[in-house]
């Protein structure tokens, strides 16, 4: 593992009409695109025909830190509707993106370094595709949004982008996420950031446990041995290496500390989440695998998650108030794991930089992963089908296509001038007074996000 390297120049015509292989990853229920190809640092450019000097949106895909890529996501809708150039880079994931080990330089930041290399390419080359290198918006969803939080703090990212969009960032400022709250049955999760020294210790322990390194090896010898381990075998530990590391020149400080303190690149920010974020995780990882949240299981999930506060949470979210216990648990999970941390992030950055906040709220969003008998609502990543043409996704209705155009015009307007307000669209005040713009086909306008997600309650809960 090392810093990204420039490709060897070529002079002949090269076929660039198809997406390259994604970063090494195993197939998942939400991302069935396995790959063992380490030659993965590529990017796609989608540009409208016509004049030069267009705003540029560099889009970082999600996928939990272990999966994802650019294939099957056509950006022409966002590019044409917004009259912007869209760049979608690929970057190393999992063990290849966030591994650390004693003696390994830049451990825990390889994915971040890949993205910075892509941003430098945009700075140097995007003018050839009609883009303005002086007007770049860095946008991303889920894990991609988490990485943008790192770019906001990383010294090496300064000046490479001029605005940022964070869609459904997970626990950027949080220290822990309670058990079961991301996915029923998953233990409590630590901070999404880890110290470089802690990561080195974890990497060394995993390497010894797997037999990849001989006991007593020097750091240099251990790294040589690790580089001989087959890609497929390394991928078996990817889930343990998805947290970017701080404490190096690339990321000196944890974003969880730096962002509230105002120690970040002061660019305009667009931040938000989906109204029913956690329905995706409860539906896909509980109901779809035959382990639904039942009335009998509900109290145990509460106790494991909240301990002595379980009864108080149960009084706030009695399962009989919801159509099913699974939907009750999804509401708890949405409010605690997504709405409250995203709100706290929005408030933190709005104290230092112009910030606009949104909630994607289409209750009839087409399911990217269908879950029979479980209404997904405005679930995690649902808005992507409105920004991109996604291979295999159900078609949008006529009303949804019209809404997608309005939503993309907001995003493009923000990319153009650092403010999403558009004269032909409903007004969108900034977040300085707590405004949240609800986005749905039947209504665009302000919403009482704090009340809807019981944020005062969660502010005092574990």
The alpha-helical segments, DSSP class H, found in 351-454 are 384-387, 398-417, 449-452
DSSP 27-87: -BTTB---B--S----EEEE--SS-S-EEEEEEE--STTT---STTEE-HHHHHHHT-EEE
Length of the chain: 462
Q: Which helix (H) or strand (E) holds 219?
A: helix 219-226
Q: Which helix (H) or strand (E) holds 274?
A: strand 269-274
The answer to whether the CB of 149 falls within 8 A of the CB of 169 is: yes
Both structure tokens of 301: 């999930």
Q: Are 278 and 334 in contact (CB under 8 A)?
A: yes
Residue 265 among the catalytic residues: no
Q: Is 29 a residue of the active site?
A: no
Look at residues 188, 168, 182 and name the one whose alpha carbon lies nearest to residue 286: 182
With 0-12 CB in 10 A as exposed, 13-18 as middle and 19+ as buried, what is 388?
A: buried
Separation between Cα atoms, residue 416 and residue 423, nearest integer Å = 14
State the residue for tokens 């997608």: 404
Please report the DSSP string for 227-271 in residue order.
Answer: TTS-HHHHGGGGGG--SPEESSSSS-S-HHHHHHHT-S----EEE
391 touches 33 (CB < 8 A): no
Are the C-beta atoms of 99 and 221 separated by less than 8 Å? Answer: no
Cα dihedral across residues 317, 318, 322, 324: positive or negative: positive
In the residue annotation, 320 being an active-site residue is answered as no
Cβ atoms of residues 355 and 266 within 8 Å: no
Cα end-to-end distance, the chain, whole Å: 38
Of 101, 151, 162, 380, the active-site residue reads 380
Query: How many beta carbons lie within 10 A of that of residue 400, not counting itself?
Result: 19
Catalytic residue among 277, 344, 359, 383: 277
Q: How far apart are CA 174 and CA 62, in angstroms?
A: 19
- Say if residues 271 and 346 touch (Cβ distance below 8 Å): yes
Q: Which distant-in-sequence residues (6+ apart) come within 8 Å of 59 by Cβ?
A: 75, 86, 87, 88, 139, 140, 144
Residues forming the active site: 142, 277, 380
């Amino acid at each position: 593992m090392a810093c990204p390297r420039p490709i060897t120049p070529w002079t002949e015509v090269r076929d660039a009409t198809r997406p390259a292989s994604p970063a090494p990853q195993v197939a998942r229920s939400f991302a069935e695109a396995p790959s063992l190809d380490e030659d993965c640092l590529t990017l796609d450019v989608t540009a409208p025909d016509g004049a030069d000097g267009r705003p540029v949106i560099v889009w970082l895909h999600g996928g939990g830190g272990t999966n994802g890529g650019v294939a099957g996501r056509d950006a022409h809708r966002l590019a044409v509707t917004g009259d912007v150039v869209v760049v979608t880079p690929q970057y190393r994931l999992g063990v290849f993106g966030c591994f650390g080990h004693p003696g390994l330089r830049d451990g825990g930041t390889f994915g971040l370094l890949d993205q910075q290399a892509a941003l430098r390419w945009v700075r140097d080359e995007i003018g050839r595709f009609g883009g303005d290198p002086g007007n770049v918006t860095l946008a991303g969803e889920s894990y991609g949004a988490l990485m943008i939080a790192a770019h906001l703090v990383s010294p090496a990212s300064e000046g490479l982008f001029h605005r940022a969009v964070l869609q459904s960032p997970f626990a950027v400022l949080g220290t822990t996420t309670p058990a079961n709250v991301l996915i029923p049955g998953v233990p409590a999760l630590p901070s999404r950031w880890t110290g470089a020294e802690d990561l080195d210790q974890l990497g060394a322990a995993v390497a010894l446990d797997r037999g990849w390194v001989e006991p007593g090896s020097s750091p240099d010898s251990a790294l040589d041995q690790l580089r001989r381990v087959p890609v497929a075998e390394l991928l078996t530990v990817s889930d343990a290496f998805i947290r970017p590391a701080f404490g190096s020149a690339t990321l000196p400080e944890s974003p969880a500390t730096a962002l509230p303190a105002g120690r970040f690149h002061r660019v305009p920010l667009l931040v938000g989440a989906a109204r029913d974020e956690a329905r995706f995780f409860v539906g896909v990882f509980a109901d779809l695998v035959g382990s639904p949240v039942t009335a009998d299981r509900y109290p145990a999930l509460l106790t494991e998650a909240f301990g002595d506060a379980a009864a108080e949470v149960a009084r706030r979210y009695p399962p009989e108030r919801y159509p099913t216990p699974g939907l009750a648990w999804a509401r708890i999970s949405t409010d605690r794991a997504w709405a409250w941390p995203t709100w706290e992030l929005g408030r933190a950055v709005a104290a230092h930089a112009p910030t606009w906040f949104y909630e994607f709220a289409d209750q009839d969003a087409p399911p990217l992963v269908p879950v029979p008998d479980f209404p997904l609502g405005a679930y995690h990543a649902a808005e992507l089908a409105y920004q991109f043409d996604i291979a295999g996704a159900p078609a949008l209705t006529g009303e949804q296509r019209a809404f997608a155009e309005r939503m993309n015009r907001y995003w493009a307007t923000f990319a153009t001038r650092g403010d999403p307000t558009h004269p032909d669209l409903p007004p969108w005040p900034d977040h300085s007074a707590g405004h949240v713009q609800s986005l749905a086909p039947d209504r665009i306008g302000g919403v009482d996000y704090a009340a809807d997600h019981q944020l005062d309650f969660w502010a005092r809960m574990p």
